[in-house]
Amino acid sequence: MKLYLKIWRQKDASSPGKIVDYTLDGVEGDMSFLEMLDILNEDLIAKGEEPVEFDHDCREGICGTCSLQINGEPHGPDRLVTTCQLHMRKFNDGDTIVIEPFRANAFPVIKDLIVDRSAFDRIQQAGGYISVNTSGNTVDANCIPINKHAADEAMDAATCIGCGACVAACKNASAMLFTSAKVSQFALLPQGRVEAVERVQNMVRQMDLEGFGNCTNTGACEVECPKGISLTNIARMNREYLSASVKG
């Protein structure tokens, strides 16, 4: 299949970027989207041109490294998949594909399609953990009985891979889905209740400091999330924060 690609090219963080047109022939439906970009880059290198920079690592949908806004949607038109799992059979011969970096002021572009998502790391560092004694007296987690329903919900929240698609999809560039998933995975478990008040306050404070927008409940994040993280997590974080604010 022959594709017409419109790709955002930007030399570095401080340079202005622009859309550059490429035509790529011989793309197979069984290729992943990233393999298609690999072929483009091999062509560019053979021609002596600068290859297109993009993030990738595991290429099996579990690391959260790949990103890309593809035809106006994070991770492309398919549902519940990351860009590395998106197959070219989702596109047709002669299609024009617009490929851009995730856009948010909190995710500045480093080069071409690569953005700096360390804002998520800082939110996580602000409270996305539990304090346990690891000096030899660690209590076995299985000693504490946990309701199956709560364990399942916590696991669902913990499947967030922190890719940033929620921010990219949101018209407000809000990070509420990510932050709420990271709050929820602890809030639902007895081990997480000990630091629950400080956790939600600190993580929300960091989220605001990073310059993400406000949530207006459009639900775009939930639709585009490759791991199917639910809006119920945002509601849970809203409850947790309200209760933490009342408790002081």
Partner 1 sequence: MSLIKSSLARKYVMALSGLFLVTFLLLHVTINLASVISPDFFNEASHFMGYNPLVQFLMQPILIAGVIVHFVMGFVLEIQNKKARSIGYVKYNGSANAPWVSRNMIYSGLVVLAFLGLHFYDFWVHEMAYKYVEANPEDPTRYYHETVEKFAPIWRTVLYVVSFVLLSLHLWHGFASSFQSMGVNNKYTPNIKRIAKTFAVVVPLLFAFIAIYHHLNPITH
Q: What are the residues binding partner 1 (CB under 8 A)?
A: 6, 8, 19, 69, 71-73, 77, 98, 100, 103-106, 169, 171-174, 201, 204-205, 207-208, 211-220, 223-224, 231-232, 234-242, 245
Minimum distance of partner 1 from residue 77's CB (angstroms) = 7
Q: CA–CA separation, 202 vs 195, rounded Å?
A: 11
Compare residues 134 and 184 and give the one whose CB is closer to partner 1: 184
Minimum distance of partner 1 from residue 241's CB (angstroms) = 5
Minimum distance of partner 1 from residue 220's CB (angstroms) = 4
Compare residues 22 and 63 and give the one whose CB is closer to partner 1: 22
CB atoms inside a 10 Å sphere around CB 147: 12
Q: CA–CA separation, 23 vs 163, rounded Å?
A: 28
Minimum distance of partner 1 from residue 169's CB (angstroms) = 6
Minimum distance of partner 1 from residue 143's CB (angstroms) = 30
Compare residues 63 and 219 and give the one whose CB is closer to partner 1: 219
Compare residues 48 and 248 and give the one whose CB is closer to partner 1: 248
**φ, ψ of residue 160 in degrees (nearest 5):** -60, 125
Q: Are 76 and 99 in contact (CB under 8 A)?
A: no
Q: Are 215 and 68 in contact (CB under 8 A)?
A: no
Compare residues 32 and 184 and give the one whose CB is closer to partner 1: 184
Core vs surface per residue 105-130: b (16+ CB within 10 A) or e = ebbebbbbbbbebebbeebbebbbee
